[in-house]
Every structure is written in C-alpha cells, then in structure tokens.
A = this chain, B = another copy of it.
Amino acid sequence: MIKVGVIGGTGYTGIELLRLLSNHPNVEIVAITSRTKAGTAVSDLFPNLRGHVNLQFIKPNLAQLAQECDVVLFATPHGVAMEMVPELIARNTRVIDLSADFRLSDPTVWERWYGHPHTAPNLLTEAVYGLPEINREAIRQAQLIACPGCYPTTVQLGFLPLLEQGLVDPNHLIADAKSGVSGAGRKAAIATLLCEASENFKAYSVSGHRHHPEIVQGLSRISKSAIHLTFVPHLTPMIRGIHATLYAQLQKEIDLQSLYEQRYAKSPFVDVLPPKSHPETRSVRGTNMCRLAIHRPSVEDNTIVILSVTDNLVRGASGQAIQNMNLMFNLKETSGLNDIAIIP
C-alpha cells in the first residue's frame, strides 16, 4: 500500500482527494492536515465520508509526514506548497502539488500573476508538469509533480493533436471556456453564493486570468513555437464541470477524427466521441475522463471547433493527481479512477 499524506484537506480538491483515495485499492491515507480544523474528525466536516475516512485533521508536521508518507499531495491555496515542498523533497518524499506553485517554469511570470516572489524558484525546473498525455514518462520518474489547472487541462487536451502536428494557425487560437462554480473553491464569498451565481451566466477576467500564462506555456511547448491565445472564462450556474469551446484556423486538410482517435488511442482518460457529437459535462461528472468532439461547421471555411469537457475537481485537480500518482508508483494508470458518472 502506498502511504499518502494530504496537506490542506478542507477545500473542494481536498475532499475530492479523500473521496478518491479512500476507495483506491492501493492506498492508505496516513495523514490529512488542516491548520484551522486540526482535531476535528474528517467525517464531521464532510458527512459523505462517514464510515469511509476515520481520520482527524492534524496540523502539518513536515518531518513526520516525510517519515510516514511515500507521497504527499498538496491541496492548498497558492503560496503554501512552495514553502513546504523543499523540505519534503530534501527528505526524499515525493510530492504532487495540486496548486499553482510549480506550474509556471519562469519565476518572473509567476510573480507577475500571483503578486509576490516565488520562494522556491530552483524547484521550478525540477518539477514535472503533470499532464500525463504529454509527460507520461517524465511523470513516472518525477520527485515533484505540478498538477495542471482545470482550464489548462481541458484546453490543452483539446488543442494538443492539432498543435503537435502544426495543423492550425498558432497565432489565432481562441478558448471560450465555461466552468462550474466549484472552480472558485470552498471559501466564503459573495460572488459564488447560490443567490448570486444561480440563474445567471457571465464572463469574468476577460482582461487576464491566472490560467492564461499556464495554458500559453503548455501550448507553446506542444507546438514548439510561440502561440497566441484569446482565453475567455465564464461562470456557469452549476457545481461541477468545464466545457471548453476551442476555435482554430486549419492550415492543412487532414482527417481530424482519425488524428484525434489515434493520438489518444492509448490514453485511458481521453475519449474522442464520434463525429458530430456534443459532449456533456455531466457525462464526466465525478470522473477523470476528458471527452472531446471535433467539428468543422462549414466546409467553405477553415474554422474548426473542438469541444472538450472535464470535471474540474477530478480531471482538473484531484483525479489527475491520482493518475499521476499511479504512474509514479507503477500502478495501473486507471487504478482507483473507475467511477462512472452519475446520470441524471
């Protein structure tokens, strides 16, 4: 059994890690930390875990975690992991960080978007970007994984086959993305109250969103060239799910359906739907799957439309972290991730 510690268990990615890890056949959860809830039983805070998780939250103790855990997962707000990861790495404990701290390889870009200097810049080059469909082999060997954000995962998996093959104009990419409200996290705020976010739809951060530089970094690496992306996120009145509608200008005719199916033939968590499909976010709810569909609305025009859906808390966070963990520990990539989306 892999011994797993979770840092920051009271947010939505934390509880989702607990849900998935507690049913994982090869995992033992040895510690779950929270500064604010130390001493509280996990199942008192999250009654869905009654009978499944019999731990209390504890205060984080790095030396003890390093000793007891094979791997430590961070489900913390940005800025926390960078303070704690160096000691864990130094003690040879592997780390999977679900936060933004190690996603951007350039510390000046990090500082510009997050407003303060990066305190562990030397680890940025060591961290492996945990998108298995791109970095599967590097992930197996990694000491430190930077798990991709929810928007970046959904957008990159959609554009990936096109940009790898240089089939579309990299200077005119558009990602119109719609997210459920859980992307904003489990924190007291007016904007995400049911009364504010229900029966309502809006764009936000059109002038700049923190996931933009991460997506640009990822797509540039994939295309091995500079790219330009217009990224417009929207808040949609539901709990879970991201739907990215991607627009690109095709530069070369090719069988796109076959391209996608072949690219993802060995990826258990990418499902290319039949032509003319419209993937629904609910079809991936609670699961680690990304479902894709490729459209070319007008044959007279070279604009193509890719539809990509994920569950932002699973494929966009906790599920992908476990997918990474499975690879790091030579488990089956799908281990513990076989849930079927609940419909309706």
Contacts and interface: CB of A to CB of B under 8 A. Distances in A.
B279 A47 contact: yes
A271 B189 contact: no
Contacts of A285: 48, 199, 342
Contact of A48 (B278, B305, B341): B341
Nearest to A10: B190
Interface in A166-197: 172, 174, 176, 178, 180-182, 186-190, 192-197
B194 A198 contact: yes
A86 B232 CA distance: 46
A239 B198 contact: yes
Interface of A is mostly: loop
A206 B278 contact: yes
A204 B15 contact: no
B195 A186 contact: yes
Contact of A198 (B19, B50, B238, B338): B238
B239 A236 contact: no
B303 A174 contact: yes
Contacts of A245: 176, 203, 232, 234
A2 interface: no
Interface stretch (A72-80, A128-136, A293-301): A293-301
B247 A230 contact: yes
15 contacts: A47-B280, A48-B287, A51-B271, A172-B303, A176-B245, A188-B190, A192-B195, A198-B239, A199-B238, A201-B236, A203-B307, A208-B297, A230-B297, A231-B297, A240-B344
